[in-house]
């Protein structure tokens, strides 16, 4: 139990670290259009993102496939920009979640998970794959992501309370800022 808690804290701290701006930007880009009224849509996107993330973490940790780190590090900001641009150009807050959205969330989760896998392999203390450490780290990452997403939902629910016009402008402005910050940070 101590080992799972140790890795849970590492996973949690990895996301909550101020230097984990890529995680914060991505979570902002996928959460910004939702409020507590529409939390189920966000739930399904985050769930399939998590499934993809967990799959690639396992795949990489067990040595089944390890993509080039440079490619993964390039693709992570691309996923942030694509998510934010879709908020700017294809904003439809009433849209139902469809299979395409779910597949994109799963695919983006795979990319981000391979990024976590690189970090996880650096902090793993055993020569083989330690399933307890893997589970603990993944749980820590997911708990922190849930806290960030819920915080964004709280903020959005407060701001969206009265004005739908303000909501669309707010989403587009925040999404533009996410794109701009991603470009400035990663390029």
Contact, 83 vs 26, CB < 8 A?
yes
Buried b (16+ CB within 10 A) or exposed e, 13-25: ebbbeeebebbbb
Instruction: Report the predicted TM-score, pTM, of the whole model to 2 decimal places.
Output: 0.88
Spatial distance between the Cα atoms of 108 and 181, rounded to a whole number of angstroms: 19
The pLDDT-based confidence of 56 (bands split at 50, 70, 90) is very high
Domain boundaries of the chain, sorted by first residue: 2-186
More confident residue, 57 or 126: 57
- Number of H helices and number of E strands within the chain? 7, 0
Instruction: Please check the confidence at residue 126 and state whether its pLDDT lies above 90.
Output: no
Q: What is the pLDDT of residue 38?
A: 82
Q: What share of the chain is helix, strand, coil (3-state, %, to 5)?
A: 80, 0, 20
* pLDDT at site 50: 86
Region for residue 145 given its phi and psi (left: phi exceeds 0; alpha: psi -120 to 50; beta: otherwise): alpha
Query: pLDDT digit string (tens) for 148-181?
Result: 999 999 988 888 776 677 888 889 999 999 999 9
């Amino acid at each position: 139990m101590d080992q799972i808690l140790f890795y849970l804290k590492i996973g949690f701290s990895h996301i909550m670290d101020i230097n984990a701006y890529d995680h914060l930007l991505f979570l902002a880009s996928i959460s910004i259009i939702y409020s507590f009224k529409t939390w189920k849509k966000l739930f399904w996107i985050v769930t399939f993102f998590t499934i993809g993330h967990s799959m690639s973490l396992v795949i990489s940790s067990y040595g089944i496939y390890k993509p080039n780190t440079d490619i993964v590090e390039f693709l992570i900001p691309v996923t942030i920009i694509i998510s934010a641009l879709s908020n700017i150009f294809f904003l439809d807050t009433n849209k139902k979640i469809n299979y395409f959205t779910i597949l994109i969330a799963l695919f983006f989760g795979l990319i981000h998970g391979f990024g976590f896998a690189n970090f996880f392999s650096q902090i793993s203390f055993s020569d083989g794959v330690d399933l307890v450490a893997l589970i603990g780290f993944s749980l820590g990452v997911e708990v922190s992501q849930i806290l960030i997403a819920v915080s964004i939902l709280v903020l959005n629910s407060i701001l969206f309370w009265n004005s739908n016009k303000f909501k669309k402008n707010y989403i587009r402005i925040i999404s533009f800022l996410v794109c701009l910050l991603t470009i400035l940070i990663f390029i």
